[in-house]
Amino acid sequence: MGNAIDLSVFRELQDTAGADFVTELVDTFFEEAPGMLAALRSARTAGQADAFRRAAHSLKSNSLTFGATALAAQARALELGGLREDVAGDNAAIDALEQCFADAAAALRELRNG
């Protein structure tokens, strides 16, 4: 699992919201996050700065809920950086964000399944 998920944040969420509800939240995150990533990439392609920032912000906020701090940090960097002149650099950052999501998703699956 590495450091993809801050276990103290995840456990606190379980203690506060209940394990069953957290399982539902994780499942919803799995359903919605790929769309957020696709929206981010689409906004980058279309040069839509506001949509780019919104997608990055949504992913950041949702990631923080579960303690996916590395994913949140990468999403935050994209949110704050906005669209750059360096399209290839933005695309590489989105690629890295997608890999970070895959790592966080794997760790969340492991935690969800106990």
The DSSP secondary-structure symbol of 8 reads H
The full 3-state SS of 17-80, as one line of letters, equals HCHHHHHHHHHHHHHHHHHHHHHHHHHHHHCCHHHHHHHHHHHHHHHHHHCCHHHHHHHHHHHH
| pLDDT, one tens digit for every residue, the chain (114 residues) | 458 999 999 999 999 999 999 999 999 999 999 999 999 999 999 999 999 999 999 999 999 999 999 999 999 999 999 999 999 999 999 999 999 999 999 999 999 887
